[in-house]
Structure 1
Amino acid sequence: MKKIYFLLFLISGILFIQAQTPAEMAAAFEKEATENSHLPKLAHELMDVVGPRLVGTPQMKNAHDWAVSTFAEWGISAKNEAWGTWRGWERGITHIDMLSPRVVSLSGRQLAWSPGTSSKGITAHLITIPTLTDSLAFAKWVSSVKGKFVLVSMPQPTGRPDYNWEEFATPESFEKMKADRDAMEDAWNQKIRNTGYNSRTINEALEKAGASGIVQSRWSSAFGANKIFSANTKKIPVVDLSLEDYGMLYRLVENGSDPLIRIVAESKELGRVPTFNTIATIPGTEFPDEYIVLSAHFDSWDGGTGATDNGTGTITMMETARILKKLYPNPKRTIIVGLWGSEEQGLNGSSAFVEDRPEVVEGLQALFNQDNGTGRVVNLSGQGFLHAYEYLGRWMEAVPESITRHIETTFPGSPGRGGSDYASFVAAGAPAFSLSSLSWSYWNYTWHTNLDTYDKIVFDDVRNNVILTAILAYMASEDPEKTSREKAVLSTDPRTGEKREWPTPRSPNREGGVD
């Protein structure tokens, strides 16, 4: 009898929860998100313990397994769905040290998928690319790089961001610095063009000529921040140095000090490895073949730990799912959490899902995607769907004014053509929306940089986004009407004078990292 009473109690509790008004449910979501937030714990486990999530690495697979396990703790069914393979690679210990004219450890890192070195590393002198008249002159000079590290980036004239100059410099000094920098950049770009190569292809020529490695510095125009992407060599290592250390080496070479450095970069090639999307599901009760998708890309670059790109989007959708499972366990429509792989290489995971799971695309009620940093959501576009204002407007009515007052809307808007995973669904004609966030200096300080780490997360703003997403998912699930997919008439492109066309679905790269 006790078991029967307990079951009746649970059933009555569930019925009570789902009988509440939208305002009451919104208040319950807000209370749970505020008083029982799992966000710091999720962020720690994902960013500090698992770490960066470069596609093809063991850390990416660890992240997928962690997500499945975490969903299971909340009573949510989840699995890793394989959609292709990628070049397997794992970062190892990296040390970059100057040995002469003095000894100093330099601040830098190996680029993604860079060829590695032995544990003893490579010790060599450095060389800069001179100003040459044309590609023939470059062909004669390039043999000089044999056995040396080549410095391939322009040394920056200042390590201070423009806002720092604007605050403290005289107007005349600020303008002079910018003019000098522009002239320096023009001269550098012309120098590279004269070689017959560009900034990407020149590394191949240097490698072919026998260079020991490539040293670059891709400054992000912010204190201490560099963009960290991938290497494009097959045998020699490529490292990125901080602006400060790179500039020092460049000046030493140019002034005849002939610095000697040692690079140890113990990365490993792991062959072909499978790559996944993590898909979690809360089944619908009345319309199980209609779907709400909570979307975020799971992969990252690995200069930092992928905290704001897109760790914050990931934990937003996971925390939203936790709250929905607890307070709205029997949604009318099926709720899916999609944590996509290999977004950074071209929306591959979400594009594969669109191809492989047409029933979800066909039955999609709405998708909500977050992927531009830790900030609170401030923009929502109708993505070119003519009647998006009607249903998004209805759903937004349940969102507290403390959240909606920060959000600007654009209806019907224009369809997304890239940028993040919602675009994969928009291209297929399915209603998918980007929850676009406030900057928090995202572009310069954390987007694909070495500074994209846990400490940059603004948890108040992420919690704001959880509450918003939970309410929108709930309202989309409860809506008695299916969302319209009618497309707006698109505007004319002022550059071409032609009418814009709806984007077309792109095929994913299912064999990534192939030379």
Structure 2
Amino acid sequence: MKINTFFTMPAVVLAAQFSWAQAPAKPQEKLNPVIENFVNEVNNNSQLENLAYELLDGIGPRLVGTPEMLAANEWTANKLRSWDIDANLQQFGTWKGWQRGTTHVDMTYPRIKSLSATQLAWSPSTKKAVEAEVVVLPKVSSKAEFDKWLPSVKGKIVLMAQYQKIGRSDEQIKEFATPELYEKLKAEKDKASKDFKDYVNSIGYDNNTLPEALEKAGAAGIAISNWTGIMGANRIFGAKTTKIPMLDIDVEDYGMLFRMAEKGAKPKIKVEAQSKILPEAKTFNTIGMIKGKEKPDEYVILSAHLDSWDGAQGATDNGTGVLTMLETMRILKKYYPNNKRTILVGLWGSEEQGLNGSRGFVADHPEIMKGVQAAFNQDNGTGRVVNISGQGFVKSYDYIGRWLNAAPKSVRDNIKTDFPGMPGGGGSDHASFVAAGVPGFSLGSLNWGYFGYTWHTTKDTYDKIVFDEIKNNVILTATLAYMASEDPEFTSRERRVMPQDDKGETVKWPEAKEPRRDSKDFK
């Protein structure tokens, strides 16, 4: 048989045939020795998983104003110091102090069922369990009719969000439905969304004023379901109440309560939402610095926001960015001891409330801003970096192209660039630098379902991190920081000629904005 013949083939002949069949060896890529050390360290001695465990499992979510946010500030500073990197906390303001407690929500009538729910950020506590009937918003068409109904909410828990008839994702519906059914269901969903928005407008309220009106009318609590459109994922933002609890209930349980209340079954739920209103809390950025040996007054900045919403662990928004920058600083300190320019890492607070930490740093440190060579920011999920824009700086191609070319081919080949690009006006912390005319660049990553699944949701957890992708980003960031530090030239800040918009008006460069230094009037 052929198999037997193969295995009994003389060893010399077999070896010769394998030698003939092998493809010619590819020439090994030659990297700068320092960058090669970065690659070897990332591949053979990565600390990313340990850092993720300590930050995400140990400390957890990092809502501004909470003890956990302060713990994260202190942990990051201590971690940097453990690598012999100077680090400190820099206060930029204050925020309302609060600490999450346990949330238990059970349906007690017409049957017993534990519900999947959580209190929103900064929600008042129930102090003791509250049991009340659940009601839905009335079918009225004017503010006068709605205001006439309002007193009836006294002592009841109001379902304030839109009812979702189908709790399946659009992708799943498209996969299994006929084309005709898909279009029908899509049209129904679009109409339901529009009808609900029109309803809220017709009663004269919005997402901020409606909870205030319900609370003032004596409601015992308010429940919403901020569903992302993906099964199992809800977004958790801030409560709009000051005295009564405000909850988010998963779409499945919310829909059940809604149908029961609408059909007159008068369901009751029991809510125990423990939390603590704390004194006004100081808000900090964690700043780490490796002083430059030749040009200490010029800076390469590594940027990521440390704060998060607290529906889960804040893993991909923005734990992964923080991990990337911490690991990059560790590696730079270890393998780049004679950095020419100062390398600074900024782990910002209160990004989620309006880029407040980075805006505060830019406003408070004009002496640093005038010496910034480049700032590299990472903030959108667990994926490998796939795009870099020149952010509107005319000559950004000259230096970014040079620096990027030094990265390993496997890293740089993933990346699409856009030069000179358009200046970022918001979205993440690079925009704080760009608005001030400082070259700040977003390391835009492949999203891995970020916007639908993990962005501000109950599913933004450790297990969603793809560590091989983060390793890629560490290699890239370390390479860019090294090359920016070594570059003999200081980067140009010349801005592009801005284009005209659809109305024929010239688009303006983003305006530098003052940070919110406290929580007053924040919605």
TM-score tier (shorter): over 0.9
Q: CA deviation at 1:325?
A: 0.4
- Structure 1 range deviating more: 67-76 or 186-195: 186-195
Aligned to 1:77: 86
Q: TM-score scaled to structure 1, two decimals?
A: 0.94
Does the alignment pair 1:29 with 2:22? no
Q: 2:293 aligns with which of 285, 305, 308?
A: 285
Specify the code of the residue in structure 1 equivalent to 2:301.
Answer: V
Aligned to 1:8: none
Q: CA deviation at 1:200?
A: 2.8
Contact persistence 2:93–2:282 (CA under 8 A): yes
- Pairing of 1:176-215 with structure 2 (within 5 A): 176-215=184-223
SS in structure 1 of the partner of residue 443 of structure 2 = strand
SS in structure 2 of the partner of residue 314 of structure 1 = helix
Q: Deviation digits for residues 467-491 of structure 1, max 9, x if unmatched?
A: 0000000000000111111111111
Q: Deviation digits for residues 401-451 of structure 1, max 9, x if unmatched?
A: 111111000000011100001111111111110000001010010000010
- Pairing of 1:442-481 with structure 2 (within 5 A): 442-481=450-489
Q: CA deviation at 1:199?
A: 2.9
Does the alignment pair 1:332 with 2:336? no
CA–CA separation in structure 1 for the residues paired with 2:198 and 2:405: 55
CA–CA separation in structure 2 for the residues paired with 1:329 and 1:69: 20
CA–CA separation in structure 2 for the residues paired with 1:231 and 1:513: 15
Specify the code of the residue in structure 2 equivalent to 1:511.
Answer: D
Q: CA deviation at 1:502?
A: 1.2
SS in structure 2 of the partner of residue 49 of structure 1 = helix
Aligned to 1:508: 515
SS in structure 2 of the partner of residue 267 of structure 1 = strand
CA–CA separation in structure 2 for the residues paired with 1:295 and 1:189: 37
Aligned to 1:51: 60
Count of residues paired in the alignment: 493
Q: Deviation digits for residues 139-168 of structure 1, max 9, x if unmatched?
A: 111111110000011111111101101111
Contact persistence 1:304–1:453 (CA under 8 A): yes
Specify the code of the residue in structure 1 equivalent to 2:262.
Answer: E
Specify the code of the residue in structure 2 equivalent to 1:169.
Answer: A
Q: CA deviation at 1:170?
A: 1.2
CA–CA separation in structure 2 for the residues paired with 1:107 and 1:230: 18
- Pairing of 1:5-44 with structure 2 (within 5 A): 23-44=32-53
Q: CA deviation at 1:513?
A: 4.8
CA–CA separation in structure 2 for the residues paired with 1:357 and 1:483: 19
CA–CA separation in structure 1 for the residues paired with 2:189 and 2:512: 41
CA–CA separation in structure 1 for the residues paired with 2:361 and 2:176: 51
Q: CA deviation at 1:28?
A: 1.1
The share of aligned pairs that are identical, in percent, is 56
CA–CA separation in structure 1 for the residues paired with 2:131 and 2:138: 22
CA–CA separation in structure 2 for the residues paired with 1:381 and 1:187: 39
CA–CA separation in structure 2 for the residues paired with 1:493 and 1:183: 31
Aligned to 1:346: 354
Specify the code of the residue in structure 2 equivalent to 1:34.
Answer: N
Aligned to 1:136: 144
SS in structure 1 of the partner of residue 471 of structure 2 = helix
CA–CA separation in structure 1 for the residues paired with 2:277 and 2:111: 34
CA–CA separation in structure 1 for the residues paired with 2:451 and 2:47: 27
Aligned to 1:395: 403
Q: CA deviation at 1:82?
A: 0.8
Aligned to 1:310: 318
Contact persistence 2:31–2:408 (CA under 8 A): no
Does the alignment pair 1:168 with 2:176? yes
Q: Deviation digits for residues 158-188 of structure 1, max 9, x if unmatched?
A: 1110110111111111111111212222222
Give structure 2 stretches of 5+ with no counterpart: 1-29
CA–CA separation in structure 1 for the residues paired with 2:443 and 2:433: 15
Q: TM-score scaled to structure 2, two decimals?
A: 0.93
Give structure 1 stretches of 5+ with no counterpart: 1-20
Q: CA deviation at 1:22?
A: 6.0
CA–CA separation in structure 1 for the residues paired with 2:375 and 2:199: 47
Contact persistence 1:386–1:486 (CA under 8 A): yes
Q: CA deviation at 1:190?
A: 2.2
Provide the aligned C-alpha RMSD in A. Answer: 1.1
Aligned to 1:122: 130
SS in structure 1 of the partner of residue 214 of structure 2 = helix
Q: CA deviation at 1:133?
A: 2.4
Q: 1:297 aligns with which of 302, 305, 311?
A: 305
CA–CA separation in structure 2 for the residues paired with 1:394 and 1:251: 61
SS in structure 2 of the partner of residue 472 of structure 1 = helix
Specify the code of the residue in structure 2 equivalent to 1:222.
Answer: I
